[in-house]
């Protein structure tokens, strides 16, 4: 112990000195990180937790090696953060904010080591920080938050392993590749991009004959194996969801590729997306010829930019191909944008072409950024204060009989949460048993989160072809006791009939819980149904196999 303390006393000052020196040398980075942290923290405190966010919080309450829709990393990270800082809307989103800061740091390091220019590194980080996708994935907690972070770190260490030919970085890359595989299946697109780069470029082709890439792949697969084991034990549920249930009813349509492209422009700003395509094409045409340059620094820079182009280009092209049949979500390709910001920054400062003079004219460039900034500001303002900008018909419900507008989901959560706690206190005391139920995973998760006691909600008679939320069917096994009562809570009138009928001895509609503003206008309606004496007999609709 004494030797360990002595060693720590010797090492700590050196580490602190190195850290302080890095902070001093890269002040612009720390300023961007500081502004990003505080701005995202403010935004995280205001909008209510969305259904998917609450669902991922439920994952953290039911820790597992896998889940129905995705690998488990998001649930694990939320559990880690909330175990340190307690459970709240902010701490759940803090997970995403911290992952975003890690991504920004590695974009800076990747750009700095690729180009050896603080200016380009700072611009790369700034571009990513200002992209609309960063507002979403850097604040709201999603499976993409951890995927983007682990993917970016994997790119960083894999580049060092290949371009610098430093074998130890293969193993560091392997660890983070394991992390990205445990985040989301989209991580699989990383490996073909690396393989293509090594195959096409003769200077690096010899690495395919060395053991390190394969050992790294084996380590990543080993880290991913608990999730594979979980799926093997649970009828391959995640495979069912992603490759069967989710793709049901998909057909070929030539409109879908255009929707995919528009989605990419929306999350990355149209101007920047066009520049990204331009610089990738230039990289493939120009830098492929420079990987044998006599100048080592120029050679490494050219090879690094070409490597990034492969890891950006392959996922984008892959999604474009499958978008002919599959409706590709705009966020599916989010993994490419940290690296693409470096390519775009290099376009501004390094690559000369016919398009560049027209775009970098100050007036055109500034007006484009102002336009993008206005869209971003409007989006943030809608999140913070929707009443001030949205028409009343999208916010208020005219009467108890009318359908609720989409923005009604923004309101009423704390109020119904308090009401749930009162109901729980009343019904838990009864000897026959009690549980809460709802119609879908989103509502069940959010209701559970906003109730101060965080009671467990279950789903009733969930359909076999239901797309999202079948984790609840795993969590509720053997928990619904025959003879117990339930209160079914939903925000759609009469939805209880096909879910509760036949599974309880008696059903009784309770008075709806209505949330109004100060002027008495209806913001939100929750419909409650009492089910007495649970009879059991629900079909097992967990697996489609």
- Is-above-0.85 flag for pTM? yes
Distance CA 45, CA 62 (A): 25
pLDDT at 1 over 50: no
Number of C-beta neighbours around residue 127 at 10 A: 23
Compute CA distances 388 → 45, 178, 219, 354, 518, whole Å: 18, 45, 52, 44, 15
Helix axes 296-322 and 256-268, enclosed angle (nearest 10): 130
Domain residue extents for the chain: 26-379, 406-534
Q: What integer is the mean pLDDT of 36-51?
A: 93
Distance CA 355, CA 275 (A): 9
Helix (H) or strand (E) holding 181: helix 168-181
Q: What are phi and psi of 305, to 5 degrees?
A: -65, -35
Q: What are the residues facing 513 on neighbouring strands?
A: 526
DSSP state of 244: I
Mean per-residue pLDDT of the chain = 86
Number of C-beta neighbours around residue 28 at 10 A: 15
Asked if residue 154 lies in contact with residue 186, where contact means CB atoms within 8 angstroms, the answer is no
If pLDDT is split at 50, 70 and 90, which confidence band does 153 have? very high
Own/partner long-range contacts of 291-296 (Cβ < 8 Å, ≥24 apart): 291/201, 291/203, 291/204, 292/203
Exposure b/e, 223-259, CB count within 10 A at least 16 = b: bbeebbebbeebebbbebbeeebeeeeeeeeeebbee
Asked if residue 81 lies in contact with residue 91, where contact means CB atoms within 8 angstroms, the answer is yes
Structure tokens at 102: 């890690």
Lowest mean pLDDT segment, chosen from 94-108, 332-346, 370-384, 469-483: 370-384
Helix axes 143-163 and 73-85, enclosed angle (nearest 10): 110
Compute CA distances 391 → 256, 383, 405, 521, whole Å: 30, 14, 11, 14
Asked if residue 275 lies in contact with residue 122, where contact means CB atoms within 8 angstroms, the answer is no
If pLDDT is split at 50, 70 and 90, which confidence band does 451 have? very high
- In the block, tokens 């700590």 appear at 12
Q: Could you read off the pLDDT of 372-394 as tens digits, one per residue?
A: 667 667 777 777 777 777 788 88
Name the CA dihedral angle for 455, 72, 185, 101, rounded to a multiple of 10 degrees: 100
Q: Could you read off the pLDDT of 492-542 as tens digits, one per residue?
A: 888 777 889 889 999 999 999 999 998 899 999 999 999 999 998 888 888
Identify which of 155-159, 298-302, 458-462 has the greatest average pLDDT. Answer: 155-159
**Percent above pLDDT 70 for the chain:** 87
Q: What integer is the mean pLDDT of 270-291?
A: 66
The gap from C-alpha 444 to its chain's centroid, in whole angstroms, comes to 20
Exposure b/e, 414-444, CB count within 10 A at least 16 = b: ebbbebbbebbeebeeeeebbbbbbbbbbbb
Classified as helix, coil or strand, 316 is helix
Compute CA distances 536 → 355, 440, 464, whole Å: 68, 19, 17
Asked if residue 441 lies in contact with residue 459, where contact means CB atoms within 8 angstroms, the answer is yes
DSSP state of 142: -
pLDDT at 172 over 60: yes
């Amino acid at each position: 112990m004494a030797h360990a303390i002595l060693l720590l006393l010797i090492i700590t000052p050196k580490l602190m000195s190195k850290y302080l020196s890095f902070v001093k040398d890269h002040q612009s980075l720390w300023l961007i990180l500081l502004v990003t942290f505080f701005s995202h923290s403010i935004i995280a405190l205001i909008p209510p937790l969305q259904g998917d966010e609450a669902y991922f919080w439920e994952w953290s309450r039911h820790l597992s090696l896998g889940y129905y829709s995705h690998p488990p990393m998001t649930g694990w990270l939320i559990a880690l953060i909330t175990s340190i800082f307690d459970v709240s809307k902010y701490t759940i989103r803090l997970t995403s904010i911290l992952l975003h800061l890690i991504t920004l740091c590695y974009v800076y390091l990747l750009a700095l080591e690729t180009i050896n220019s603080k200016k380009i590194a700072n611009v790369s980080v700034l571009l990513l920080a200002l992209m609309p996708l960063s507002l979403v994935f850097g604040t709201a907690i999603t499976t993409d938050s951890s995927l983007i972070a682990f993917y970016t770190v994997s790119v960083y260490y894999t580049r060092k392993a290949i371009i610098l030919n430093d074998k130890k970085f293969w193993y560091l890359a392997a660890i983070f590749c394991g992390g990205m595989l445990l985040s989301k299946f989209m991580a699989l697109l990383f490996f073909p991009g690396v393989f293509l780069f090594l195959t096409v470029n003769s200077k690096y082709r010899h690495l395919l004959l060395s053991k390190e890439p394969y050992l790294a792949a084996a380590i990543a697969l080993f880290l991913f194996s608990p999730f594979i084991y979980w799926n093997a034990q649970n009828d391959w549920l995640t495979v069912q969801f992603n490759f069967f249930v989710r793709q049901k009813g998909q057909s070929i349509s030539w409109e879908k590729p255009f929707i995919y492209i528009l989605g990419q422009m929306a999350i990355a700003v149209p101007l920047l997306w066009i520049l990204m395509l331009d610089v990738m094409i230039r990289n493939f045409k120009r830098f492929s010829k420079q990987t044998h340059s006599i100048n080592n620094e120029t050679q490494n820079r050219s090879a690094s930019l070409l490597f990034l182009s492969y890891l950006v280009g392959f996922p984008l092209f892959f999604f474009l191909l499958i978008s002919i049949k599959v409706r590709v979500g705009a966020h599916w390709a989010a993994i490419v944008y940290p690296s693409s910001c470096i390519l775009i920054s290099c376009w501004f400062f390094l690559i000369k072409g016919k398009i560049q003079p027209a775009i970098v004219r100050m007036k055109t460039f500034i007006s484009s950024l102002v336009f993008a900034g206005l869209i971003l500001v409007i989006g943030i303002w809608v999140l913070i204060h929707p009443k001030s900008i949205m028409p009343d018909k999208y916010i208020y419900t005219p009467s108890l009989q009318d359908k609720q507008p989409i923005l009604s989901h923004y309101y009423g959560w704390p109020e119904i949460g308090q009401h749930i706690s009162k109901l729980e206190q009343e019904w838990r005391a009864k000897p026959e048993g009690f549980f809460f139920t709802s119609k879908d995973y989103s509502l069940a998760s959010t209701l559970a989160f906003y109730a101060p006691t965080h009671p467990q909600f279950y789903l009733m008679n969930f359909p076999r072809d239901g797309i999202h939320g079948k984790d609840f069917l795993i969590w509720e096994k053997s928990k619904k006791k025959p003879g117990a009562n339930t209160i079914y809570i939903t925000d759609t009138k009469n939805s209880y009939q096909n879910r509760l009928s036949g599974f309880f001895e008696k059903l009784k509609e309770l008075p709806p819980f209505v949330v109004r503003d100060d002027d008495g206008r209806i913001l939100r309606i929750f419909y409650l149904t009492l089910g007495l004496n649970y009879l059991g007999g629900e079909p097992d609709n967990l697996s489609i196999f």
